Amino acid sequence: MSLVTEARRRAATALGAVEGEAVAARLELRQADLAATLEQVYGAKVDAADLVERLVDRVLDAACSRPKPLRVLDRRREIDPSWFQDPATIGYVCYADRFAGDLSGVRRRLDYLGELGITYLHLMPLLRPRDGDNDGGYAVVDYGSVDPRLGTMADLVNLAGDLHSRGMSLCIDLVLNHTAAEHPWALAAAAGDPAYRAFYRVFADRELPDRFERTLPEVFPDQAPGSFTQVDGVGWVWATFNDYQWDLDWSNPEVFDAMLTVVLDLANRGVDVLRLDAAPFLWKREGTDSQNQPEVHLILQALRACCAIAAPGVLFKAEAIVAPQQLTQYLGAHDRFRPECDLAYHNQLMVTLWSTLATRDVTLARQSLTNLRPAPSSTAWVTYLRCHDDIGWAVSDEDARAVGLDPAAHRRFLSDFYSGAHPGSFARGALFQLNPRTGDSRISGTAAALCGLDAARSAGDDEEVAIALRRLLMLYSVVYSFGGIPLLYMGDELALPNDERRAQSAGQAEDNRWMHRPRMDWAAAQRRHEPASVEGRAFAGIAGMAAARARLAVLQSGTGPEVLDTGDRRVLAFARRHPGASGLVALANFSDDPVLLPRETALPGLSLEARVVQSSESTELTAYDVALPSWGHAWVTDP
């Protein structure tokens, strides 16, 4: 019996004839992709046809046991595959404990998210981590249970249900690249079980590690130098991140199978989006940096195909913080398109926004955003300003040189600027992982602190406070209008400062990323409706953008923006067009000066009837020109 016939029979028995036919159709559609990718990755080790059969069996189990409410959601999403590209989709990112204590607490705070127009909630790592240091939850010991401090799997299922009933979706992290050293697979490997030893990359001596390390960059040069860790009685174990995070060996098909089981289980709990952590690192190849290898994409495509058969409403989001020329491939943009991840972080936009804020010159931003390969129309970027990680200066050498900058010097300048070391800098961040060998470093700090708010508040300078808030909102105005799903990072809606108390918590003093992972300040949140308060101004600005965005069909994510040249280096401008919607131009002034731009260069393609639909105060549009205050922004659209 063919796989499809068997799938039809099994699914029809479990779910009825109509749904059975749908499962069979999905398998038919994805089967070729699955077979081709697995053959390329694993064909030399195992019989790929046998592997396909085994995996499809697992996928069918998941399809047949998928709860009814989730199958109903699948149906809706298959009818409208662009559901996540809707302009009303807006994300919020937080740690469940820091935001609301635990998962039940999160359920009680959904109205707060509603005020911000949130429809997509990304909860930071919540599966059971190892005890002690766990890299913010990225060292998991059990993918099948929730961190007991946050609740239980039943709480997660209930939270997903609550979100769905409000038309919201749930995103959680899935750490694919590594497990904690205390995960049962790792413990079995350490105890000498050959099947589990083959789950990791273990070397008897330094010969191969030394050879690999010749071309491997260090991710945590300061806190965890090198990419291997020596384990007594075991040998040298590949550990790209911290010593207690052991990289899985994805060249072993058993690892694929085990992780597929995890993916399908989480999907059937009601998770809508899986954030695939550290995806670029899955495949290692000597003589390279062991990131973004072709096999990484094939593995993601194979996982995608499997998940789409069992749980077609579930999305993958790539956490691929990589160079611009490697980025769009995670959305399936290869010579031949094949569904891969539906979403990917637009780290180029994030980096160029911060770079431009420091230089007050949009030339580099224009260059790198124009140079980036566009996202396939069935996918979307997630646009963001801050996340829980440091900001790495992923400006490509090619882009920097094209606009006359020395790449290394520019990156050093950015770190100096945001650590506050550069004369006249308004930012109050901190250097993260300074690598003494290369001089490279990254930056920690909350968005507000990097925009100058912490400095302005401690100086008691109200005018500077207003300017810093304008900077923050101007940056978010780009994030909310560029195209893609905007992500609001918890606390930015209240312009929360750096967390100065973090040093008192164990494990957090050494890793200064915790300075921008504050606890939610609910006392500050109480002030969100006081128009004169800092919190009130930030909150109203962000909520206003959300409301405006939801009404603008032109912000649907299926098409990309066109970056414009207004002839003024201080202003970032881009046009958005969408068939069936009026065009929109977004303008952002990255300078201390108010600017006046002639209408024909600032708003190409818009008519005389065009109106400002969202802006900072004192923005003005006349029949001839558009005036933006310093660090101001405007969205202009035809009626």
The residues carrying an active-site annotation are: 277, 319
Asked if residue 541 lies in contact with residue 526, where contact means CB atoms within 8 angstroms, the answer is no
Q: Which range of residues in 6-14, 131-139, 430-438, 557-565 is near ligand GLC by CB under 6 A? A: 131-139
Q: How far is the CB of 321 from ligand GLC (least distance, A)?
A: 6
Element holding 564 (H helix, E strand): strand 562-564
Give the nearer residue to ligand GLC in terms of CB position, either 135 or 249.
135
Q: Does 391 bind ligand GLC (CB under 6 A)?
A: no
User: Candidates 133-141, 150-158, 345-353, 492-500 — which segment interacts with ligand GLC by CB under 6 A?
Assistant: 133-141
Identify which range of 61-69, 109-117, 135-143, 338-346 contacts ligand GLC by CB under 6 A.
135-143
Q: Using the rule CB under 6 A, which residue among 135, 147, 340, 499 binds ligand GLC? A: 135
Which of 281/631 has CB closer to ligand GLC?
281
Q: Which residue is nearest to ligand GLC (CB)?
A: 138
- Determine, following the binding rule CB under 6 A, whether residue 129 of this chain makes contact with ligand GLC: no
Q: How far is the CB of 371 from ligand GLC (least distance, A)?
A: 24
Taking CB under 6 A as the criterion, the residue among 39, 213, 265, 389 binding ligand GLC is 389
* HEC profile of 147-182: CCCCCCHHHHHHHHHHHHHCCCEEEEEEECCEEECC
Beta-strand runs (E) in 204-310: 228-231, 235-238, 245-247, 273-277
CA distance 244 to 524: 37
- Return the number of the residue (135 or 295) whose C-beta is nearest ligand GLC: 135
Least Cβ distance, residue 498 to ligand GLC (angstroms): 18
Question: At CB < 8 A and 24+ separation, what contacts does 253-259 make?
Answer: 253/38, 253/42, 253/45, 253/46, 253/51, 254/195, 254/198, 254/199, 255/199, 256/41, 256/42, 256/55, 256/299, 256/302, 256/303, 257/54, 257/55, 257/58, 258/185, 258/199, 259/176, 259/303
* 280 near ligand GLC (CB under 6 A): no
The contacts of residue 501 (CB under 8 Å, 6+ apart) are none
CA gap 587, 56 in Å, rounded: 49
Residue whose CB is less far from ligand GLC, 138 or 236: 138
Give the nearest distance from C-beta 511 to ligand GLC in angstroms: 9
Given the complex with ligand GLC, which of 175 and 309 has the nearer CB atom?
A: 175
Residue 138 interacts with ligand GLC (CB under 6 A)?
yes
Is residue 153 within 8 Å of residue 218, measured between CB atoms? no
Residue 365 token pair:
């931003």
Site track 222-251 with ligand GLC (rule: CB under 6 A), x = hit: -------------------x----------
Distance CA 470, CA 594 (A): 12
Which of 134/359 has CB closer to ligand GLC?
134
Binding flags for ligand GLC, 306-325, as an x/- string (CB under 6 A): -------------x------
- For ligand GLC, which stretch binds (CB under 6 A), given 132-140, 145-153, 246-254, 565-573? 132-140
What is the residue type of 408? A
Binding characters for ligand GLC, 329-368, by CB under 6 A (x = yes): ----------------------------------------
Q: Binding to ligand GLC by residue 277, rule CB under 6 A? A: yes
Q: Which residues pair with 597 in a beta bridge?
A: 626
Closer of 23 and 175 to ligand GLC (Cβ): 175
> CA-CA distance, 2 to 332, in Å (whole number)?
28
Nearer to ligand GLC, 138 or 418 (CB): 138
CA dihedral 160, 166, 167, 169 (to 10 degrees): -30
Interface segment toward ligand GLC; rule CB under 6 A; list 134-142, 440-448, 560-568, 578-586: 134-142
CA separation (Å) from 512 to 391, 430, 450? 12, 8, 14
Count CB-CB contacts under 10 A for residue 177: 22
CB of 226 to ligand GLC, least distance (A): 15
Does 586 help bind ligand GLC (rule: CB under 6 A)? no
The DSSP bridge partners found for residue 505 are none
87, 136, 280, 312: which one contacts ligand GLC (CB under 6 A)? Answer: 136
By the rule CB under 6 A, 392 interacts with ligand GLC? no
Stretch that binds ligand GLC, among 1-9, 106-114, 130-138, 252-260 (CB under 6 A): 130-138
Provide, rounded to whole angstroms, the least separation between the CB of residue 266 and ligand GLC. 17
The C-alpha atoms of residue 26 and residue 34 are separated, in whole angstroms, by 12
Residue among 517 and 578 whose Cβ is closer to ligand GLC: 517
Q: What is the DSSP string of 419-452?
A: TT-STT-----EEES--TTT---EEE--HHHHTT
C-alpha 146/C-alpha 156 separation (Å) is 8
Under the binding rule (CB under 6 A), the answer on residue 278 touching ligand GLC is yes
Nearest to 414 by CA among 405, 591, 512, 468: 405
Name the region of 519 (left: φ>0; alpha: ψ -120 to 50; beta: rest). beta
**Least Å distance between CB 138 and ligand GLC?**
3
Applying CB under 6 A, does 175 fall inside the site for ligand GLC? Answer: yes
Q: Which is nearer to ligand GLC, 302 or 387 (CB)?
A: 387
* 110 CB-contact burial (10 Å; exposed 0-12 / middle 13-18 / buried 19+): middle
Nearest residue to 172 (alpha-carbon basis) of 150, 198, 188, 194: 150
In the bound state with ligand GLC, the residue whose beta carbon lies nearer, of 138 and 574, is 138
Q: How far is CA 301 from the centre of its chain?
A: 18
Least distance to ligand GLC, CB of residue 329, Å: 18
Contact in structure between 381 and 556 (CB atoms under 8 Å): no
Helices (H), 198-282: 207-213, 253-268
Binding residues for ligand GLC, total number by CB under 6 A = 10
Measured CA to CA, the distance from residue 277 to residue 317 in angstroms comes to: 9
Could you list the residues that contact ligand GLC (CB under 6 A)?
A: 135-136, 138, 175, 241, 277-278, 319, 388-389
